Every structure is written in structure tokens, then in C-alpha cells.
Structure 1
Amino acid sequence: MPLADKIRPTSIDQVVGQTHLLGEGRPLRKIITSNQIPNMIFYGPSGVGKTTVARMIAENAGKRLHKLNGTTASLADIKQVVEELDTIMGQNGIILYLDEIQYLNKKQQQSLLEYIENGRITLIASTTENPYFYIYNAILSRSTVFEFKPISPEEMEPAVMRGFHLLAEEQQVELELEPGVAEHISRGCGGDVRKALNTVEICVLTADLKDGKKTVSLELAKELTQKSAMRYDRAGDEHYDLLSALQKSIRGSDENAALHYLARLLEAGDLLSPCRRLLVVASEDIGMAYPQAIAIVKACVDAAVQLGLPEARIPLAEAVVLLATAPKSNSSYMGINRAMADVRAGKGGTFPRCLQNMHYDGEGNEIKGQNYHYPHDYPHHYLPQQYMPDDLVGTVYYEYGPNKTEQAAKQYWEHIKKGD
């Protein structure tokens, strides 16, 4: 049996972390102690206690408990649970604990609806993915969602020490930990208790035995923990959360936070995602306030791709710091959004006559001639003429930002267009 299962909590007070849900007076604690169990969905990363709490609730409820895993459950498995409702075993109702519910398709989830609604089946589901994206809306509307959070290193350390003590007792050896071992494992597991305890187990297994005593060195703990701090799935929420955090930190001009999120992406071996996102940031968030940023970032990205990891971190760090400390403007980004909104609304379907690529005037044209004037033939390479479609004349999409670069351009064009 894995160490994580051996020391799995049996009471609320033994659960590591989740005080926002399980602390005194908190809602989930009240539900557990009341035994009045609503349909619930537990959302959060792996190894933070979702399954432990679900099992605790089911065991205390006095109802028949069925456990299914979304990765392997079929429609037949769900039908088997439903069939038990009409037997003696199901007369008090059934609790269905459905782990990884996001892997069930819509039809499988729909098959539960009738029984969830009339209360004959109480659903406790867990998921590592955002339930609002992956779970059928009708299930969500009949359930209460509780979000579980990663365990802090301070909350993790007592569990790590319990794991070491239990293994020492089982193996009947004296176990000595070098200073910093428990702390390093607690900080290096990314808030995942199961991952931390797996590391504890491997440390004890591989530690040298001498005269009935095992010593776990800090060096061994660092070697075995490796990159376990990286909670990262390129197809999951964590991937997009990291990229979002990187962009928002740059947008907020916090270069230190931006470097942190870049480091997490690179430490997970993801080079291309931050490269693409930095090119977006250069145009979306810096834009016209520092138009040269896109060229510099492109050069940094090209260098990073050519170098590969680990050296790629150097030009990418330069790009991140440049963007975070640069003046900000989203004026061009907002301008194209406004223009695309009009296009999608069907506006501007025609062209002014002077812009058309036509050199023949049909009999039906009242005004003969294209009447296009070549701006380069005029002072300052400018003269007023209609460029917008007739139904959009006067529409403004781009508004100059308050930064120095855009204000200089604004003043220049105001001067020219007034004919000063």
C-alpha cells in the first residue's frame, strides 16, 4: 500500500490544509457533521484531499456507497448503480462517489440527472479540471462546487514528518534526517500531499543503511524531488493559468512576477508557449507606446528557439523585463476589436468609389471617373478624401493612448489635418 494511503486521514481534523472549507464554522465541515449531504463537486489539483474528504463524507452518511472513476466507468456501470436503487441495499439512497468526472461524456453524465434530481442518488464528484468547462450544465446546476487549493509548505511539513516516522516504525530502523530535508520536500511538491509522501517513501527506500540506521541527506532529497514542484499539464488549466499570469504580470508592469511565471514555464520544459505569448504581449499590451518592442521581442524569441533550453532562458528573460518595464498601450488592440465587431455586425459592406480598383465606368454610374487623389502629390503627403464605407463615415476605432509616442503622433496629425 502506498504511504499516502497508509496515513490517509480518518477525521476532519487530520486533513492537511483546506481550512477555508474544513475549518471551524466553514460550510463543508458543517455538511460533513450534519450528514445532510447535497450533490457536490470537488474541484482542485491532485493530491490536495478531494478523495479523502469525499470518502469521509460517504462513510459517515449511512448510505450505500458506490465508487466509480471517470477514466474507466462506462454507461453500463452507471446503469448498475441505478438498478440497485430498487433493492434492499439501496432503500436509504445511494452515494455515488465519481472521481475524475470530467472524463465522462455528456450522455453518461445525463444518465444520472433524473436520480440526482429526485434525491435517490447523491453525487459527490471530484475533478482536476475547471467544472464550468468540463461538466454538463444540468449537473452543475444541481450541485454545489467546492474549490480545493494546493497545500502550503507549512501545512505540508507535518504530513511529511508523519510519513518518515511511520516508515521508520514499519522498517524498524532508526531514521535520521539532515536539516532541511522535510522542508525541501514540503516546498518541492507543488502543494501535492501524495507527491510529497511518494518522495518520502523513495528517500527512505534509497537511503544508505548502516548499523541499523538510515540517514536521509538533503542532497538525496533534492535529487529525488527533482522537478516535482511543477504542477503542469500542457493540455489543462495550469498551462493556461501560467500563461495568463505571465501576461497579466507584464501588463501590470511587475517584472519580478513575470520572471517567476516564465521560470515555471521553462522549468517544465515548455519553450514555445511563452515565446508565442510574449509576441502577443508586445503588440497587445505595449503596442504603440513602444512600437519597437515587437521587433526586439521577435529577435529574442528567434534566439531562444535557436538556442534551446537551458540557454533560451536568457533572451526570453530579456524580452520579459523589456515588456514589463516598457510603457503600456492597448490602443491598437482595442481599435482592431472595435473594427472587427462592426465587420461581424455586417457594417461597411461597400467601398468608396475612389478606393475601388475599377477603370471603367458603367452606364449606370452617375459620377464618372474614380476621382482618387494620390496623397504623395500633396503637401505633407496628405489630403482629405473618403476612405471609410458610406455607412461608417466618421466612425473612430483607434484612440491615441496617453503615452509619449502616441501623443507625439496625435499632435503631428492634428497639426497636418487642420492645415496649419
Structure 2
Amino acid sequence: MAEPSSEPGLFDAPDPGAGSLGTNTHSSAPLAVRMRPRTLDELVGQAQLRAPGSPLRRLVEGDQSMSLLLWGPPGTGKTTIAGIVSLQTDRRFVEVSAVSAGVKEVRAAIDAARGELARGGRETVLFVDEVHRFSKAQQDALLPGVENRWVTLVAATTENPFFSVISPLLSRSLLLRLESLTDEDVSSVVDQALADDRGLAGRYRLADDARAHLVRLAGGDARRALTYLEAAAGAAASTGPAAEPEGDATLIDLELAETAVDRAAVRYDRQGDQHYDVTSAFIKSVRGSDVDAALHYLARMVEAGEDPRFIARRLVILASEDVGLADPTALTTAVAAAQAVQLIGMPEARLNLAQATIALAVAPKSNAVIKAIDAASADVRAGKIGPVPAHLRDAHYGGAKQLGHGGGYKYSHDEPYGVAEQQYAPDVVQGARYYRPTSLGAEAAVKERWERIRSLVRGVRGGR
């Protein structure tokens, strides 16, 4: 069986002597290990999983045998939940890392759990981290243990399990979706670590800007926040009196926090003016086709811990608002980036955001799409709605023909070029021209084609 990973999940600390997650950890263990939640009530965030009557709470408190598939970003509590299931149900804890383990290790772990049960021993929680890295054969090897309940499988993944986990394993497991921790959640974890005897036990205090810096850089990952805090506490301890002690608590200021994580604080307030200023500059740089400036502002948002889904949504909007049909692939690229953000999460998704940013910045630009829908909306708001022409109305119900519905309608596919000359718009806007394509990029060809089609549809020449 593989050794526990060197960078375990959130607050994970296997007790090698007991073969399970122990309730006590040695004082030299990493801060994230020492602060590992021991019960569901200590778990920060994931309120939907901790709620009374939730499947996870029923599993833990009812001591049921059920396999779990935990899907969520890094540092949100996947390994912690596996440990809580083990501790609160008094099961052995065995971890297999999908990065290093093969079919042999998986089968050995299941056989050992089966043997333990045969001897009248405890049941086993088999935790498989990054299960999406397992091949189909490796995932298949888990099925006997799950089906026969020789183990309580808890598998963790950061990728969409509907794409990365085999159907038989997915159907036999309870899928729990973990959400990214909020800044408030991460700040709560930091404050608890500062005060708790298992953590820093009140020996340090954080300046407000230092706390904001650590929380921002953590990006919703509690494990990362505690790693940064521990590094900052170490830096503060090494400075001695220069750390400005207040009583018995040594101050960790912004400079110390920056030094500890080797990264300058990003002067960016996601709730203040900087948020809107940087976002505005980002969009205008893409619109203005300055790739380098756009990447600069993208990096500022990413480094500040901006929600990548927000950035992706802005790019999807921009693809239609500022590029449009000048490059018909722009929207596809932006949507693909947004899907990639959901699928793989940060920090890797910054690559997808950067690719989309570059593609949209270098693309030819057209605002004809937004001008067209705005013009049409303006007419509708002004009351120019009018009745639908009779030949376009629904003629499929009884009595429709007696009302004249559908009479005289020309089926486009029966006409030359697949375009029928007939009225489509209500009389009140029959002569309106909303879409005015530009001659930029691929929209130049769209413009030429639309002018020909418009003349055929309306029975006029010259596209008027």
C-alpha cells in the first residue's frame, strides 16, 4: 500500500501506529495537520453537508456503511471528511494515493480490510485521493470492496466525476459536491489556528492587512492559508523584538506575511473600487486588442484571488459584445474556458483564462451584435410590437385555418436559395434595420451574405 501523501488533504494526519486518523498529533506536525477538524461540527464551510439530516451526517452519526465520492476544489475538506468518517465511526483509516498506487496496492488494501473483518476487527475507511488519476482497471479493482462492503470507500476528486470516474463506481457511491471556501471561512480557520492550543495558542496576532493578504493568496484553500500562516509565524519568531510584541503575542504584520510567502501583496480589494477599476481595465484592454495589458490585469485578478468564474463570465460576455461575428469562434473559446474553470479549478484554470484572454484580444472586433439587440429592444420598449403577420401564426390547432392563420406562408426550403420573399416582421417595424454588420474579420463575409439575403426576403435590391 502506498504511503500517505506528503501533502495530504485538508488537515489530514494519519496515525501510523493505529492505522487510522489519530486524535492527537505531535507538536512538530504541520499546522494544517494539528488543526484538522475532528467532527463534522468543527468542519468549516460545506454547510450543505453538515446540515441536520444530510446524507453525510446520517452516515457519520448513524454509523452506516456507505461509499462516498467527494468532488470539489483543493483545500475544501475532502480528506478531512474521510478522517471524520473514520474517527466518528471508529473505523480504521487507510489511504491510497492514486498518484503512486497501482492495482496491486488497491487489491492489497482491500484484502487487508477483508481480513480484518474476518478476524472480528474494525471496519476500514479506504481513502483514495485524486481518484480521477486511476485508470479504468484501477477503478474496477475498487468495486469488489465496495459491493461487498469490505471497505467504506471515500474517494476524492477535483475533476468532474461524470467524466473521470467509471459508471459502476459512480452508481455505487454517494456523490457529495464540496464548494470553495469563502474568504470568511478561510479567515475563520486562520483565527482558530491563532487561538487554539493545537495551533499557535495565542502566541501570535495578525495585523488586519496581513490577514487579508494570507486569505487572498489562499484562494479558498484552507490548507494553503494555514501553511502561509505557519510560515509567517516562523518569520515573526525569527525577528525577535522587532516583531513588536504586544503582551505575549508577537505581531505578524503585512511585511512579514509577504516575506513568508515570498510574494508581494496585491493592492486589490475585491469589494472596493480596485475591483471595479481592475475589471474595467481588463475588459477595455481586451477590447482594445492590447494582449500584454490584458494579461497584466488578468494576472492581478488571479493573484488577488478573484473568483475565476467571474473572470470567465466577463470573457463570455465580451466575446459577443466586442468580437461577435467578426470571429465566430470567440464565443466558443470563451465558453470553453468557462467550462474548463468549472472542470479543473484553480490554479490550473488560469491557463484556460489566459488562452481565452489572448484569443479575444487578438481577434477582430465588432460591436454589431450588441448594437443590434439594443436597437431591437429600444423599439420594443417604445411600444413597436404590432401583431404577428397572419401567415406566420401557429396553424396546428383546430380552427386556426378559419382564423386565417398560416395562409399564404412560403416554406423557405421550397424556394430558390432556401430564402422566401415574404414579410416576417410586424408592420410597425417592417423597415427596421437592427443588425448592421461591419467589414471587419469574418463579419465582412457575413455582411455580404446578409445584404443579399435581406434583399431576397424583402423583395428589394441593394440591401435596402
> For the superposition of Structure 1 and Structure 2, which TM-score range results when normalised by the shorter chain?
0.5 to 0.7
- Alignment match of 1:162 (pick from 170, 184, 192): 192
The equivalent residue for 1:215 is 251
Alignment of 1:4-153 (within 5 A): 4-90=32-118, 91=120, 93-153=123-183
Distance in 2 (alpha carbons) for counterparts of 1:179 and 1:283: 36
Distance in 2 (alpha carbons) for counterparts of 1:164 and 1:37: 36
Distance in 2 (alpha carbons) for counterparts of 1:215 and 1:84: 49
Distance in 2 (alpha carbons) for counterparts of 1:98 and 1:168: 27
Distance in 2 (alpha carbons) for counterparts of 1:211 and 1:262: 35
The equivalent residue for 1:243 is none
Distance in 2 (alpha carbons) for counterparts of 1:219 and 1:72: 39
1:84 Cα deviation from its structure 2 partner: 2.8
Distance in 2 (alpha carbons) for counterparts of 1:323 and 1:75: 53
Aligned to 1:186, what secondary structure does the other structure show?
helix
Q: Which moved more, 1:203-212 or 1:12-21?
A: 203-212
The equivalent residue for 1:415 is 455
Alignment check: 8 A CA contact 1:153 1:187 kept = yes
Task: Give the number of equivalent residue pairs.
Answer: 308
Distance verdict in 2 for CA 1:416–1:46, change over 3 Å: closer
C-alpha RMSD of matched pairs (Å): 5.0
The equivalent residue for 1:198 is 227
Aligned to 1:120, what secondary structure does the other structure show?
coil
Structure 2's unaligned 5+ residue stretches are: 1-28, 267-278, 304-311, 331-353, 373-413, 420-431, 438-445
Aligned to 1:220, what secondary structure does the other structure show?
helix
Distance in 2 (alpha carbons) for counterparts of 1:111 and 1:293: 45
1:131 Cα deviation from its structure 2 partner: 1.4
The equivalent residue for 1:175 is 204
Distance in 1 (alpha carbons) for counterparts of 2:143 and 2:44: 33
1:70 Cα deviation from its structure 2 partner: 1.0
Alignment check: 8 A CA contact 1:106 1:136 kept = yes
1:20 Cα deviation from its structure 2 partner: 1.5
Distance verdict in 2 for CA 1:220–1:264, change over 3 Å: farther
Distance in 1 (alpha carbons) for counterparts of 2:455 and 2:116: 88
Alignment check: 8 A CA contact 1:4 1:194 kept = yes
The equivalent residue for 1:327 is 369
Q: Which moved more, 1:56-65 or 1:45-54?
A: 56-65
The equivalent residue for 1:298 is none
Distance in 2 (alpha carbons) for counterparts of 1:159 and 1:283: 37
1:195 Cα deviation from its structure 2 partner: 0.5
Distance verdict in 2 for CA 1:83–1:6, change over 3 Å: same
Q: Summarize deviations over 1:322-364 as a string: whole Å, max 9, x none.
A: 969663599xxxxxxxxxxxxxxxxxxxxxxxxxxxxxxxxxx
- Alignment match of 2:435 (pick from 380, 383, 404): 404
Q: Summarize deviations over 1:89-130 as a string: whole Å, max 9, x none.
A: 455653311111112211111112133123233211111222
Distance in 2 (alpha carbons) for counterparts of 1:21 and 1:228: 34
Alignment check: 8 A CA contact 1:58 1:65 kept = yes
Alignment check: 8 A CA contact 2:323 2:363 kept = no
Distance in 1 (alpha carbons) for counterparts of 2:460 and 2:199: 90
Distance in 2 (alpha carbons) for counterparts of 1:228 and 1:142: 46
Q: Summarize deviations over 1:127-171 as a string: whole Å, max 9, x none.
A: 12221221122111111111111111112212112223358986x
Distance in 1 (alpha carbons) for counterparts of 2:316 and 2:188: 42
Distance in 2 (alpha carbons) for counterparts of 1:94 and 1:31: 14
Distance in 2 (alpha carbons) for counterparts of 1:154 and 1:288: 37
Aligned to 2:94, what secondary structure does the other structure show?
strand
What letter matches 1:69 in structure 2? S
Distance in 1 (alpha carbons) for counterparts of 2:418 and 2:233: 71
Q: Which moved more, 1:320-329 or 1:17-26?
A: 320-329
Alignment check: 8 A CA contact 1:9 1:52 kept = yes
1:414 Cα deviation from its structure 2 partner: 4.0
Alignment check: 8 A CA contact 1:290 1:405 kept = no
Distance in 1 (alpha carbons) for counterparts of 2:90 and 2:216: 38
Aligned to 2:218, what secondary structure does the other structure show?
coil
TM-score by length of 1: 0.59
What letter matches 1:66 in structure 2? V
1:291 Cα deviation from its structure 2 partner: 3.5
Distance verdict in 2 for CA 1:169–1:186, change over 3 Å: closer
What letter matches 1:10 in structure 2? R
Distance in 2 (alpha carbons) for counterparts of 1:286 and 1:224: 42
Fraction of identical pairs, as percent: 25
Distance verdict in 2 for CA 1:320–1:136, change over 3 Å: same
What letter matches 1:106 in structure 2? K
Distance verdict in 2 for CA 1:179–1:71, change over 3 Å: same
What letter matches 1:124 in structure 2? V
1:395 Cα deviation from its structure 2 partner: 5.2
Alignment check: 8 A CA contact 2:327 2:363 kept = no
Aligned to 1:149, what secondary structure does the other structure show?
coil
Structure 1's unaligned 5+ residue stretches are: 230-245, 270-276, 296-311, 331-390
Distance in 2 (alpha carbons) for counterparts of 1:260 and 1:61: 52
Distance verdict in 2 for CA 1:98–1:261, change over 3 Å: farther
Alignment check: 8 A CA contact 1:286 1:293 kept = no
What letter matches 1:6 in structure 2? R
Q: Which moved more, 1:43-52 or 1:78-87?
A: 78-87
